[in-house]
Amino acid sequence: MKYNNEIVQKIKENGFGIIRKRQVILSPEEVSEFYKEHYGKPWFPQFVIKMSNKPMLALCISKCNAVDDFKTLIGPPKVSDARKLYPLSLRAIYGLKGDKSTNAIHGSKTLAKAEEELHFFFARMITKPIRAESLNLNFLKEQVNSVILEGLSEVCRIKPEDPVIWFANWLLENNPKKPKMPPEISHCPYTLDELLPN
Protein backbone atom coordinates (compact mmCIF):
# COMPACT_ATOMS: atom_id res chain seq x y z
CA MET A 1 0.00 0.00 0.00
CA LYS A 2 3.07 2.21 0.36
CA TYR A 3 3.20 3.23 -3.32
CA ASN A 4 -0.49 2.89 -4.25
CA ASN A 5 -1.01 6.53 -5.22
CA GLU A 6 2.13 6.60 -7.38
CA ILE A 7 1.21 3.32 -9.08
CA VAL A 8 -2.36 4.51 -9.78
CA GLN A 9 -0.98 7.78 -11.20
CA LYS A 10 1.39 5.88 -13.54
CA ILE A 11 -1.48 3.65 -14.66
CA LYS A 12 -3.53 6.77 -15.54
CA GLU A 13 -0.53 8.39 -17.28
CA ASN A 14 -0.34 5.33 -19.54
CA GLY A 15 -3.87 5.88 -20.84
CA PHE A 16 -5.87 3.62 -18.56
CA GLY A 17 -9.10 4.75 -16.96
CA ILE A 18 -9.84 3.73 -13.39
CA ILE A 19 -13.41 2.45 -13.37
CA ARG A 20 -13.51 1.16 -9.80
CA LYS A 21 -11.10 0.78 -6.92
CA ARG A 22 -11.45 -0.95 -3.61
CA GLN A 23 -9.13 -1.50 -0.67
CA VAL A 24 -9.28 -5.12 0.49
CA ILE A 25 -7.72 -7.39 3.08
CA LEU A 26 -7.93 -11.00 1.91
CA SER A 27 -8.15 -13.95 4.26
CA PRO A 28 -5.92 -16.99 3.59
CA GLU A 29 -8.98 -18.73 2.10
CA GLU A 30 -9.63 -15.83 -0.28
CA VAL A 31 -5.97 -15.72 -1.37
CA SER A 32 -6.12 -19.49 -2.00
CA GLU A 33 -9.28 -19.04 -4.07
CA PHE A 34 -7.90 -16.11 -6.07
CA TYR A 35 -4.65 -17.92 -6.93
CA LYS A 36 -6.19 -21.40 -7.17
CA GLU A 37 -4.32 -22.27 -10.38
CA HIS A 38 -1.12 -22.39 -8.31
CA TYR A 39 -2.57 -24.74 -5.70
CA GLY A 40 -0.28 -27.71 -5.03
CA LYS A 41 2.97 -25.93 -5.90
CA PRO A 42 5.61 -26.18 -3.16
CA TRP A 43 5.75 -22.41 -2.58
CA PHE A 44 1.97 -21.94 -2.44
CA PRO A 45 1.40 -22.21 1.37
CA GLN A 46 4.10 -19.62 2.10
CA PHE A 47 2.71 -17.38 -0.65
CA VAL A 48 -0.81 -17.54 0.86
CA ILE A 49 0.55 -16.56 4.28
CA LYS A 50 2.50 -13.64 2.79
CA MET A 51 -0.43 -12.31 0.72
CA SER A 52 -3.19 -12.64 3.31
CA ASN A 53 -4.27 -10.29 6.08
CA LYS A 54 -2.62 -7.20 4.63
CA PRO A 55 -4.26 -4.28 2.79
CA MET A 56 -4.29 -4.32 -1.00
CA LEU A 57 -5.85 -2.10 -3.63
CA ALA A 58 -8.04 -3.79 -6.24
CA LEU A 59 -8.57 -1.83 -9.46
CA CYS A 60 -10.87 -2.17 -12.43
CA ILE A 61 -9.12 -0.42 -15.31
CA SER A 62 -10.19 0.23 -18.89
CA LYS A 63 -8.48 0.87 -22.19
CA CYS A 64 -8.55 -0.65 -25.66
CA ASN A 65 -6.37 -3.77 -25.51
CA ALA A 66 -6.24 -3.29 -21.72
CA VAL A 67 -5.04 -6.78 -20.73
CA ASP A 68 -2.02 -6.88 -23.07
CA ASP A 69 -1.11 -3.22 -22.56
CA PHE A 70 -1.30 -3.65 -18.78
CA LYS A 71 0.93 -6.74 -18.90
CA THR A 72 3.50 -4.64 -20.77
CA LEU A 73 3.16 -1.78 -18.27
CA ILE A 74 3.67 -3.99 -15.22
CA GLY A 75 6.44 -6.17 -16.70
CA PRO A 76 7.36 -9.79 -15.97
CA PRO A 77 6.31 -11.39 -12.65
CA LYS A 78 9.88 -11.90 -11.44
CA VAL A 79 11.28 -8.55 -10.24
CA SER A 80 14.87 -9.34 -11.35
CA ASP A 81 13.60 -10.07 -14.90
CA ALA A 82 11.50 -6.90 -14.86
CA ARG A 83 14.51 -4.79 -13.84
CA LYS A 84 16.72 -6.36 -16.48
CA LEU A 85 14.28 -6.52 -19.42
CA TYR A 86 11.71 -3.80 -18.62
CA PRO A 87 13.42 -1.28 -16.33
CA LEU A 88 10.53 1.22 -16.62
CA SER A 89 7.83 -1.33 -15.78
CA LEU A 90 5.86 -0.99 -12.55
CA ARG A 91 7.29 -4.22 -11.15
CA ALA A 92 10.85 -3.07 -11.89
CA ILE A 93 10.22 0.24 -10.12
CA TYR A 94 8.05 -0.84 -7.17
CA GLY A 95 8.73 -4.57 -6.74
CA LEU A 96 11.09 -5.84 -4.08
CA LYS A 97 14.01 -8.06 -5.00
CA GLY A 98 13.21 -11.68 -4.46
CA ASP A 99 10.36 -13.99 -5.39
CA LYS A 100 7.22 -13.28 -7.38
CA SER A 101 5.07 -12.47 -4.35
CA THR A 102 6.93 -9.19 -3.76
CA ASN A 103 6.46 -7.83 -7.28
CA ALA A 104 4.04 -5.10 -6.06
CA ILE A 105 1.28 -5.59 -8.62
CA HIS A 106 -0.94 -8.25 -10.14
CA GLY A 107 -2.35 -8.19 -13.66
CA SER A 108 -4.74 -10.59 -15.37
CA LYS A 109 -3.18 -12.91 -17.95
CA THR A 110 -6.16 -13.09 -20.31
CA LEU A 111 -9.44 -11.31 -20.94
CA ALA A 112 -11.37 -14.30 -19.52
CA LYS A 113 -9.18 -14.28 -16.41
CA ALA A 114 -9.68 -10.50 -16.07
CA GLU A 115 -13.46 -10.98 -16.09
CA GLU A 116 -13.20 -13.72 -13.45
CA GLU A 117 -10.92 -11.59 -11.27
CA LEU A 118 -13.16 -8.53 -11.58
CA HIS A 119 -16.08 -10.60 -10.32
CA PHE A 120 -13.93 -11.76 -7.42
CA PHE A 121 -13.31 -8.18 -6.22
CA PHE A 122 -16.39 -6.42 -7.63
CA ALA A 123 -19.12 -9.07 -7.45
CA ARG A 124 -21.95 -6.93 -8.85
CA MET A 125 -19.99 -5.39 -11.69
CA ILE A 126 -21.15 -5.98 -15.26
CA THR A 127 -18.09 -6.74 -17.35
CA LYS A 128 -19.69 -7.40 -20.71
CA PRO A 129 -18.73 -4.81 -23.32
CA ILE A 130 -21.29 -2.34 -24.52
CA ARG A 131 -22.95 -3.35 -27.76
CA ALA A 132 -20.65 -2.90 -30.76
CA GLU A 133 -21.36 0.11 -32.96
CA SER A 134 -22.17 -2.10 -35.97
CA LEU A 135 -24.82 -3.93 -33.93
CA ASN A 136 -26.30 -0.59 -32.87
CA LEU A 137 -26.46 0.58 -36.48
CA ASN A 138 -28.09 -2.69 -37.58
CA PHE A 139 -30.67 -2.37 -34.81
CA LEU A 140 -31.45 1.20 -35.87
CA LYS A 141 -31.73 0.22 -39.52
CA GLU A 142 -33.90 -2.83 -38.88
CA GLN A 143 -36.10 -1.66 -35.99
CA VAL A 144 -36.18 2.14 -35.73
CA ASN A 145 -35.58 3.87 -39.06
CA SER A 146 -38.74 2.62 -40.80
CA VAL A 147 -40.98 3.71 -37.91
CA ILE A 148 -39.41 7.17 -37.76
CA LEU A 149 -39.61 7.56 -41.53
CA GLU A 150 -43.29 6.64 -41.50
CA GLY A 151 -43.98 9.08 -38.64
CA LEU A 152 -42.13 11.95 -40.30
CA SER A 153 -44.01 11.29 -43.54
CA GLU A 154 -47.27 11.59 -41.58
CA VAL A 155 -46.07 14.89 -40.07
CA CYS A 156 -45.45 16.23 -43.60
CA ARG A 157 -48.81 14.96 -44.86
CA ILE A 158 -50.93 16.23 -41.93
CA LYS A 159 -48.93 19.39 -41.11
CA PRO A 160 -50.04 19.63 -37.45
CA GLU A 161 -49.88 22.93 -35.59
CA ASP A 162 -47.22 21.59 -33.16
CA PRO A 163 -45.31 18.94 -35.14
CA VAL A 164 -43.01 17.93 -32.27
CA ILE A 165 -45.86 17.12 -29.87
CA TRP A 166 -47.87 15.47 -32.64
CA PHE A 167 -44.87 13.32 -33.65
CA ALA A 168 -44.19 12.33 -30.02
CA ASN A 169 -47.80 11.22 -29.61
CA TRP A 170 -47.68 9.39 -32.94
CA LEU A 171 -44.56 7.50 -31.79
CA LEU A 172 -46.29 6.48 -28.58
CA GLU A 173 -49.30 5.17 -30.52
CA ASN A 174 -47.30 3.45 -33.27
CA ASN A 175 -44.43 1.97 -31.26
CA PRO A 176 -43.91 -1.55 -32.68
CA LYS A 177 -42.44 -2.66 -29.31
CA LYS A 178 -45.43 -1.35 -27.35
CA PRO A 179 -46.60 -3.98 -24.84
CA LYS A 180 -49.82 -5.67 -25.85
CA MET A 181 -52.40 -5.71 -23.07
CA PRO A 182 -55.90 -7.11 -22.98
CA PRO A 183 -58.53 -4.41 -23.59
CA GLU A 184 -60.00 -4.77 -20.10
CA ILE A 185 -56.61 -3.80 -18.61
CA SER A 186 -55.49 -1.24 -21.16
CA HIS A 187 -58.65 0.86 -20.97
CA CYS A 188 -59.25 2.73 -17.71
CA PRO A 189 -62.70 4.38 -17.43
CA TYR A 190 -61.37 7.09 -15.09
CA THR A 191 -59.18 10.08 -15.79
CA LEU A 192 -56.01 10.69 -13.82
CA ASP A 193 -57.65 13.64 -12.02
CA GLU A 194 -60.48 11.38 -10.84
CA LEU A 195 -58.05 8.82 -9.46
CA LEU A 196 -55.84 11.24 -7.54
CA PRO A 197 -57.04 12.58 -4.16
CA ASN A 198 -57.63 16.33 -3.84
Query: How far is 127 from 130, CA to CA, in rounded Å?
Result: 9
Rounded Cα distance between 26 and 48, Å, is 10
d(Cα 162, Cα 153) in Å, to the nearest integer?
15
Q: Would you give the DSSP letter of residue 124?
A: T
Helix, strand, or coil (residue 59)? strand
Tell me if 11 sits within 8 A of 73, measured CB to CB: yes
Helix (H) or strand (E) run with residue 25 in it: strand 17-25
Q: Are 58 and 26 in contact (CB under 8 A)?
A: no
Closest by CA position to 56, among listed 19, 101, 4: 4
Cα(36)–Cα(41) distance, integer angstroms: 10
To the query of whether residue 38 is one of the catalytic residues in this protein, the response is no
Q: Any idea which residues carry the catalytic annotation?
A: 106
